[in-house]
Amino acid sequence: MNNLTVVKIGGNVIDNPDALLRFLTAFAGLPGSRLLVHGGGKIATQVAEKLGVQTTMVEGRRITDQPMLDVVTMVYGGLVNKQIVAKLQTLDCNAIGLTGADARIVLAHKRPVGAIDYGFVGDLDEVNAGQIQFFLRQSLTPVIAPISYDNQGGLLNTNADTMASAIAVDLARHDTVTLVYCFEKRGVLADPANDDSVIPALNPTSYADYKAAGAINKGMIPKLDNAFRALDNGVARVVICHADELGAAVTGGGAGTTLNK
């Protein structure tokens, strides 16, 4: 089996050109095959404001009505994706920018309306691992924006953490996969106000304990749920770390928080 690193980048790193370039330089230098899933940072909100499109967030999740779907498609699948691809080309990393609709790589369905109507938000159904492997065999590095598609010709806004986890799981059937979540924190923190309080390792029991104590909360919970789901479904290794520590995280240099079963 080949070694493959699936990296998700998000948070404030996307919004900071210097931080993004440092991250992409490290990503381009990773050994073996690699794949990048990215979020959109605050750029979609900024573009929406310029276009007069209202942004509504509920519990940190974006409500995606039709005007907002148009914005996130333009920003995630266009502006952010192609800026990342262009930067990787200058770093001798031959990247190909994709959404889930391209080459049918990520199929989803519109989230059913419950207590909250999230609009055109996609819950994942299927990852076309064979097509992604085809790109990798051509020495291309897929850079995937968090836009999926349905079977009715529609596009859907999809959580990037969830997309990275699902892609990693499907590719783990064929390759030895390391999944790395990168953002602006040094890992999972025991004290969210103290960036030096990195928890070096988490398993399901300690994760539950930290949640019960309130140390792990808000947006970190769905991120960790996705991470543990990947670990439970064939991904060999999962790390959550600062974007500047990507290289050390992949090579086992003790960076960030490593998840264990």
For the stretch 4-35, pLDDT in tens is: 999 999 878 999 999 999 999 999 999 999 99
Whether the pLDDT of residue 256 is over 90: the answer is yes
Does pTM top 0.85 for this prediction? Answer: yes
Coil/strand/helix, residue 220: helix
- Convert 177-190 to b/e letters by CB count within 10 Å (16 or more is b): bbbbbbbbbbbbbe
Orientation angle between helical segments 220-232 and 204-213, nearest 10 degrees: 170
The pLDDT value recorded for residue 253 is 80
41 labeled binding residue = yes
Cβ-based neighbours of 13, under 8 Å, separated by 6 or more: 19, 20, 23, 41, 182, 183, 184, 243
Cα distance between residue 202 and residue 257, in whole Å: 7
User: Which range has the worst mean pLDDT, 61-65, 76-80, 125-129, 133-137?
Assistant: 61-65
Whether the pLDDT of residue 1 is over 80: the answer is no
40 labeled binding residue = yes
Q: How confident is the model at residue 38 (pLDDT cuts 50, 70, 90)?
A: very high
Whether the pLDDT of residue 60 is over 90: the answer is no
The pLDDT value recorded for residue 261 is 87
137 labeled binding residue = no
The pLDDT value recorded for residue 193 is 87
The pLDDT value recorded for residue 252 is 83
The pLDDT value recorded for residue 92 is 97
Residues listed for the chain: 261
| pLDDT per position as a tens digit, 179-237 | 999 999 999 999 988 989 999 999 999 999 999 999 998 888 988 999 999 999 999 99
The pLDDT value recorded for residue 218 is 83
Cα distance between residue 24 and residue 87, in whole Å: 8
Cα separations (Å) of 57 from 60, 68, 101, 219? Answer: 6, 12, 25, 13
For 252, the domain range is 3-259
Cα distance between residue 54 and residue 98, in whole Å: 26
Number of domains in the chain: 1
The stretch 55-74 carries a mean pLDDT of 91
The pLDDT value recorded for residue 6 is 98
The stretch 116-130 carries a mean pLDDT of 96
Residue whose entry in the numeric block shows the structure tokens 């942004």: 55
217 labeled binding residue = no
Cα separations (Å) of 27 from 35, 50, 90, 143? Answer: 9, 32, 13, 11
CATH code where residue 65 lies:
3.40.1160.10
Mean pLDDT value across the chain: 95
Cα distance between residue 50 and residue 30, in whole Å: 37
The pLDDT value recorded for residue 59 is 72
